[in-house]
A and B are shown apart, each in its own frame.
Chain A
Amino acid sequence: MADVCLDSVCKSFGKTEAVHELSLEIGDGEFVVLLGPTGAGKTTTLRLVAGLERPDQGRVTIAGRDVTPAPPAMRDVTFVFQQYSLYPHLSVFDNLAFPLRSPVRRTPLAEIERKVREVARLLHIEDKLQNRATQLSGGQMQRVAIGRALVRSPAIYLMDEPLSSLDAKLRSELRIELQRIQREFGATILYVTHDQTEALTLATRIGVMDRGRLVQVGTPREIYENPVDAYVATRLGSPGINLVPRSVFPAMAAPPAAVTVGVRTEHVRIRKAANGGALGTVSWIEHLGDQDHLHVAIGERDFVTLSDADAGLAVGDSVALEVTRPLFFDVAGRRVTNA
């Protein structure tokens, strides 16, 4: 286990710049999640660490050793892909043991047995060890694929959307298991996803990517509460942050450069406007069970707030909004704060 370091790494494919001057340090035992939409450069970054791509510029170091020119096999990394690829003719035990039986590693038999059983216990597949890989459900297969990475103790585990092919229920189950396994193993993980829930729940730090650039790195809480720009602010939060022109809230104290106000749904107090003071009209109430999303039409704009299911508001009501923790952005979308 060791530090992994990317230093001003660039990678282009033809005219497309996939990764632009990306620098990132991943500490021992850290769980770093790269979050961004398709095409942001997350997977390319992961492949650069793995050695599956070679950077045009910059350096990759693992445990202080420059591995930039080294092939994948010489880097002490393991990769878990989105699509699990298991050996269909082998049992679960043999699939898990496979990486340890590699001739270059020469792991003693007793050690293989111990390691496989430990990992199987962690992943709750102990009773499936003798099954053929093809006799498993999708969720079990993906756990075996993750397990095959875990039997080794590499410097870093690289995971590319390992949960995205699973259904919602299994995904939420494996999320919490992955979190627990990472803690128990003290593993260092670099994980790529476009799913904000995975990023928020798994990461010790999130790196938000946009068109090849690493825009912000921080703990989930820092990124959520303190985004550097409007793009990052829209990446996290469900429902998403409301971005409205400063002019919608003329009475609000704001820095002079503020052009846009960002309001998280949970940072709004809403009340029926008795006489005057109305800002908008309730246009739609979504009953999502655990919370209601109240849509307020402000002119042509849709503004979303959370409301208590028993707040007694109805479609068509005129309402006033009180914003408790606004975020301000300038004309370029950069965050500006009160001095």
Chain B
Amino acid sequence: MAEIRVDNLQKSFGSFAAVRGADFTVKDGEFFCLLGPSGCGKTTTLRMIAGLELPTGGRIFLGSEEVTARRASERDIAFVFQLFALYPHMNVRANIGFPLRCQSMPRAEIHRRVEEAARILRITSILDKPVSGLSGGDRQRVALGRAIVRQPTAFLMDEPLGALDAEFRRLMCGELRALHDRLAATTVYVTHDQLEAMSMADKIAVMNNGLVEQLGTPREIYDRPVSMFVADFIGSPPMNFVEFDAPLARGDRSLTIDGAEIAIPELHEAASQPQCALGVRPEHVRLSDSSPLRGSVYGAEYLGTTQIVTVATARGFVKARLPSDTSVRLGEPVGLAFRPEKLSIFDRQSGRALCSALHGARHQGRAHG
């Protein structure tokens, strides 16, 4: 069993609290992403799981065993770093086999495992080449090979694709996920790239300021962000916020902005103060001549598959993702309409999402502000 459980994990460097309390369980076979901006504590959390940092509080379990105080080498996990450090004087085969030679494994067994790793990674044809002439992607595959030959119970990866260009990153995302499935591995993956996390993860922990702000499936986090921070961090372009000041009561099904009545999911709680924001994803915005919520077209970005139209309103920019055959003219006055059942309402002071028909009664993780 490669279940990983961290329990109120904390780490301070001097007076700086890098991780203020992380709680989560990575189930056996799960692809788990720690996602957040730089400085949120995600890499420190991963390094504590690996045994490269000692926590200043809390506990770590691998399966049923507590490993909090154990050395890295005594934990059955493999680590893949962002910068793939390969031995330049060795060929691909020797690089992949290196961890096994260090364990004095019999040569025949090393050979078998290296061949198998190469087959899984589809790099059999380059096994006997020097690593110096390899492309970035092949180098990364060799680094992965070195992790998988050990057949560990869990993989820990720290931005392993960060150094690759965008196009290649997308391809490697697919490969990594397929590899995870083929090995039936448990993977904890650290990234600041929300698209990587969305595309690969079974579960995402969004971290902010040393805390797990939201824990959920990619779909939950995208559709029901618990806070403005999460809503803004996920999605490209991110969620639009339309700020307004109005008292909101439990049971409300609409609100009014600049005289425009906007239907929303029924609120299950009242706002504690009137400063709020309406959160709407770009794909849930459409142009509607009859809508009283007005603006003018500020810019249009054609993306082939779709286009992003930026509309300047009295309350700031609103971005809409529209079919690429919708024609818009710059400066043209337009009305905006939103898909009611997909709207989130946030308290602007705490940043927290109000409970509603969309946002269930209680959120996982903890919001703070």
Chain A residues closer than 8 Å to B167, beta-carbon distance: 37, 194, 196, 240
Chain A residues closer than 8 Å to B283, beta-carbon distance: 290-291
Chain B residues closer than 8 Å to A179, beta-carbon distance: 299, 301
Q: Give the complex CA separation of A201 and B237 in angstroms.
A: 14
Q: Give the complex CA separation of A303 and B33 in angstroms.
A: 25
Contact check, B304 vs A284: say whether CB atoms are below 8 A apart: no
Partner of B236, one of A37, A168, A175, A293: A168
Q: Give the complex CA separation of A179 and B174 in angstroms.
A: 33
Contact check, A200 vs B303: say whether CB atoms are below 8 A apart: yes
B71 lies within 8 A of chain A by Cβ:
no
Chain B residues closer than 8 Å to A220, beta-carbon distance: 302, 304
B177 lies within 8 A of chain A by Cβ:
yes
Main secondary structure of the interface of B (DSSP, over half): mixed
Contact check, A264 vs B282: say whether CB atoms are below 8 A apart: no
Closest to A195 in B: B166
With A176-B299, A284-B177, A290-B283: A238-B198 Cβ-Cβ less than 8 Å: no
- Number of B positions contacting A (CB below 8 A): 36
Contact check, B281 vs A290: say whether CB atoms are below 8 A apart: yes
Contact check, B304 vs A172: say whether CB atoms are below 8 A apart: no
Q: Give the complex CA separation of A194 and B330 in angstroms.
A: 27
9 A-B contacts (beta carbon < 8 Å): A168-B236, A180-B298, A195-B166, A200-B302, A287-B198, A287-B219, A289-B198, A289-B222, A293-B199
Q: Which residues from chain B sit less than 8 Å from chain A, CB to CB?
A: 165-167, 170, 174, 177-178, 193, 195, 198-199, 217-219, 222-223, 234-238, 281-283, 298-299, 301-305, 308, 310, 321, 324, 330
6 A-B pairs with least C-beta separation: A289-B222, A201-B301, A224-B304, A290-B283, A286-B199, A176-B299
- Number of A positions contacting B (CB below 8 A): 39
Main secondary structure of the interface of A (DSSP, over half): mixed
Closest to B237 in A: A172
- Total number of A-B contacts with CB less than 8 angstroms? 81
Additional 9 contacts, C-beta under 8 A, given A169-B238, A200-B301: A176-B299, A194-B165, A221-B302, A224-B304, A238-B170, A284-B177, A289-B223, A290-B235, A290-B283
Contact check, B305 vs A266: say whether CB atoms are below 8 A apart: yes
Q: Give the complex CA separation of A147 and B238 in angstroms.
A: 27
Q: Give the complex CA separation of A284 and B179 in angstroms.
A: 13
A306 lies within 8 A of chain B by Cβ:
yes
Q: Give the complex CA separation of A286 and B170 in angstroms.
A: 12
Taking the closest CB of chain A, its distance from the CB of B166, in whole angstroms, is 7
Q: Give the complex CA separation of A157 and B217 in angstroms.
A: 46
A153 lies within 8 A of chain B by Cβ:
no
* Best-surrounded residue of A236, A238, A265, A306 (most CB of chain B within 10 A): A238
